Amino acid sequence: MLEVRDLHAFYGKSHILHGVNLTVGDGECVSLLGRNGVGRSTTIKAVMGMVDAQGSVKFKGEEICGLKAYRIAHKGLGYVPENRDIFPTLTVRQNLALGMKGTKESGRWSMDDMFRLFPRLQEREHTQAGVLSGGEQQMLTLCRTLMGDPDLVMIDEPTEGLAPKIVELLRELFVEITRRGVSILLVEQKLAIALEISQRLYVMGHGQIVFEGTPAELRANAAIRKEWLEV
């Protein structure tokens, strides 16, 4: 589905990614772990065409590195920003509508699906999104991207700062996403969730991938966890 080879990215003059390699298979859930500032967010932004990048990004076999973000979105890649970038002046329903690529609901997800998964969003359907709680905003950003029917969705730090109850809701949504045949590339801080829902994990350090393996392999590798993950 997604194949990233030797990806370099720059913010101005600073070199953030030093040749990142990773793959995500069809229907697979893959997590990208690491401490803050090692380039996890930059990696998925670079894949999405939101920062200047060099290297190769193949999506469904097609080279997309260098394309504009909106073109990449139309190829079937979805991106959920970490800072819960809801559109504050629009209502919940309008936010969801802007997630759709056209004016008709099509593909795997409908607005009713979202409301069934998160009844809270339906209750606040006509509320301005800016007044939602942090957890509700996170649900909304996720649902908004899903409305565009991506084949692979990249999610940046979805559980950060959320109450355990909401984290559990999100975990159920991730399971539902893969059940509908959508791949996930998850940037996550909470090791427990990543280990539980992912088939494979990558650990990043200093702009490179320093570990690749299954949850069992990461559990067994205390040295990697100690050097790159634990604070």
Partner 1 sequence: MEFFLISLLNGVTYGLLLFMLSSGLTLIFSMMGVLNFAHASFYMLGAYFAFQISGHIGFWPALVLAPLGVAVIGMAVERYGLRTVHKHGHVAELLFTFGLAYLIEEAVHLIWGRAPVNYGVPKDLDGTLFMIYGTAFPIYRGFMMLVSVLMLVALYVVLTRTRIGLVIQAALTHPETVEALGHNVPRVFMLVFGGGAALAGLAGVIGGNAFVTSPGMALHVGAIVFVVVVIGGMGSLAGAFIASLLIGLLQTFSVALDWSLGGLFKPMGISFAADSFLGELWNLTLASAAPVLPYLLMVLVLLFRPRGLLGTRDT
Distance between CA atoms of residues 182 and 193, nearest Å: 18
End-to-end CA distance of the chain: 33
Residue of the chain from 13, 14, 62, 70 that contacts partner 1 (CB under 8 A): 70
Can residue 158 be called a binding residue for partner 1 (CB under 8 A)? no
Among 20, 32, 64, 81, binds partner 1 (CB under 8 A): 81
Q: Which of the ranges 28-36, 80-88, 112-120, 214-222 carries the binding residues for partner 1, by CB under 8 A? A: 80-88
User: How far, rounded to the nearest angstrom, does the alpha carbon of residue 156 sit from its chain's CA centroid?
Assistant: 5
Packing angle, helices 92-99 and 134-146, rounded to 10: 30
- For the bound state, the minimum distance from the C-beta of residue 223 to partner 1, rounded and expressed in Å, comes to 37
Six-digit token pair at 81? 């920003």
Q: Which is nearer to partner 1, 11 or 119 (CB)?
A: 11
Strands (E) in 44-121, as ranges, are 53-59, 62-63, 77-80
CA 165 to chain centroid: 20
Rounded distance between C-alpha atoms, residue 62 and residue 67, angstroms: 11
Q: Where does this chain touch partner 1 (CB under 8 A) — which range of 57-65, 85-93, 105-113, 171-179?
A: 85-93
Give the footprint of partner 1 on residues 117-156 (CB under 8 A).
144-145, 148
Question: Does residue 67 belong to the site contacting partner 1 (CB under 8 A)?
Answer: no
Measured from the CB atom, is 51 or 197 closer to partner 1?
Answer: 51
> What is the four-CA torsion angle of 65, 100, 121, 191, rounded to 10 degrees?
-20
Q: How far is the CB of 213 from partner 1 (least distance, A)?
A: 30
Residue 229 CB, shortest distance to partner 1, in Å, is 28
CB nearer partner 1, residue 187 or residue 197: 187
Token pair in block for residue 41: 């967010």
The answer to the question of residue 108 lying near partner 1 (CB under 8 A) is no
CA distance 113 to 100: 14
Q: If binding is defined by CB under 8 A, does position 48 make contact with partner 1?
A: yes
**Site of interaction with partner 1 (CB under 8 A):** 48, 50, 68-70, 73-74, 79, 81, 85, 87-90, 94, 97-99, 101, 103, 144-145, 148
